[in-house]
Amino acid sequence: MIASSGAPINWRLVGRYALIAIGIGVFLYVLSLIPKTVEVFVIAILVAYALAPIVRGLQRRMPRAVAIVVVYTALVLLTAAFFLLLIPATYDQFQLVLANAPAYIDAARNFIDAAQVYLKQHLGPLIATNQISQIEAANMDKLSSAVEAGFGSLSLLVLGIGNAIVIVIFGVTLSYFLLANSDAIRDSFYSLFPDRLQSHARYFSREVARVVGGFIIGQLILVAITFLLTYIALLIMHQPFALLLSVIAGVCYAIPYVGVVISTVLGFLLGALQGWPTGVIVALIIVVTSKVSDFLVPKVMGDSVGVSPIAIIFAVFAGGELFGLWGLLLGIPAAALFKVIWMLWLHPWLTGRPVVIPDVPDATEPAPAAKPAVPAASPVAPTAS
């Protein structure tokens, strides 16, 4: 009887991987049942990672607990100033747009009628003016119905905004506890790995802090730059909806690729309320300011993401299709983290080649205390014999 040359199957290892896969599946299923709780924790994790570098910087001059209190006090003050100064003015301009919607519809109808007369005079029988009239009537009726439905859904919009504000407040509050207990959380994460994989776990922790923290801070800076540049340019041209358009441009810039298209279209539509040339100018301003921000991306974010443009586009569209707005916003850091997981575990597992972990000090951990200097031994003079 010929003995089998293959290595025996390690059923214990197979069972371990099977249990891990089943556990991950059950965990994801439970998360799908509690979307609001997941949103609170996602916001908390993002805020904690964004504020962690600031806390570490202040920690060099004061105790960590005091640094955390100072950072969150500044965050509360900035948020209050944002809501008191920016939100009411933006909401007033939004209400102005909705209040003048019937006049805007009449202006659009007059523009279509003038275009119809022009086409009939210059092209004559080549243009079926009756079909244009039918299309105009049908579309204007749909637009009027949409505006009326928009007025009717304002209460739902306000309720949704209030719900989002409550989720953000709970998320920021939870982020305080995450940041205050970051050492214990990190030690618990390290304890999940055996001794031979401790270097992998520590490197993964460093990369998560670098990627997520760098991405969030960089995005906030770029959003602020886009908002300020757009607002200044629109103020120069005396655009009545300058603040509303600037907020739209800044917020939409946080959505890679898709956001610029959305803000440009909305800018053209709102600018066209004063005439289509104004709409074109507003759209060009939004495109130019977004390109200026794109030019500043390498200087603001550095190499915090390190993902190719093709991977970014795929991550953004796939994330948006799978997870909606959260997928659009977090597709890029998710792709960067998948790259780290691939390098640390998946690629070595598939190829059998060990990965070399760079020996870099962990910035997420407190620096070790300096060792006392040991004086060098003084040379002993030879004794005379």
* Residues 44/171, Cβ–Cβ less than 8 Å: yes
Cα atoms in the 13 Å half-sphere on the side-chain side of 105? 18
What pLDDT score does 372 carry? Answer: 39
Position 321: which residue type?
E
Q: Of 183, 210, 171, which is closest to residue 75 (Cα–Cα)?
A: 171
What pLDDT score does 379 carry? Answer: 45
SS3 181: coil
* Alpha-carbon gap, residue 86 to 82, rounded angstroms: 5
Element (H, E) at 244: helix 242-253
Q: What value does the CA radius of gyration of the chain take, rounded to a whole number of Å?
A: 29
35-59 and 64-85 are packed helices; what angle lies between their axes, rounded to 10 degrees? Answer: 120
Position 378: which residue type?
S
Q: Of 336, 347, 54, which is closest to residue 208 (Cα–Cα)?
A: 336
* C-alpha distances in Å from residue 22, one per residue of 27, 344, 357, 382: 8, 22, 29, 75
Neighbours of 51 (CB within 10 A): 24
* Residues 194/339, Cβ–Cβ less than 8 Å: no
Query: pLDDT tens, position by position, for the chain (385 residues)?
Result: 444 455 677 788 788 878 988 998 999 899 889 988 998 999 999 899 889 988 988 998 999 999 999 999 999 998 888 778 777 777 777 777 766 667 666 766 776 667 666 666 666 555 555 555 555 566 556 655 665 555 555 566 667 777 888 888 899 999 999 999 988 999 998 998 888 888 888 888 888 888 888 888 888 889 999 999 999 999 998 888 888 889 889 988 988 778 899 999 888 888 887 777 888 999 999 999 999 988 887 777 656 667 777 787 788 888 888 888 788 888 888 888 888 888 888 888 788 787 777 665 555 554 444 343 444 444 444 444 3
* Alpha-carbon gap, residue 32 to 129, rounded angstroms: 53
Residue with tokens 């290595």: 7
Whole-structure pTM value: 0.70
Q: Report long-range pairs for 291-296 (Cβ below 8 Å, ≥24 apart).
A: 292/225, 292/226, 292/229, 293/222, 293/225, 293/226, 293/229, 293/253, 296/222, 296/225
Residue with tokens 């006090």: 73
Locate 151 and state its tokens.
Answer: 């007025």
What pLDDT score does 175 carry? Answer: 93
Q: Of 204, 141, 171, 163, which is closest to residue 339 (Cα–Cα)?
A: 204
What pLDDT score does 26 carry? Answer: 93
At residue 335, φ and ψ (nearest 5 deg) are: -65, -40
* Alpha-carbon gap, residue 103 to 121, rounded angstroms: 27
* Residues 364/204, Cβ–Cβ less than 8 Å: no
What pLDDT score does 70 carry? Answer: 94
* Alpha-carbon gap, residue 319 to 154, rounded angstroms: 29
Q: Largest Cα–Cα distance in the chain?
A: 128
SS3 15: helix
Indicate the DSSP class of residue 362.
-
As a residue count, the chain comes to 385
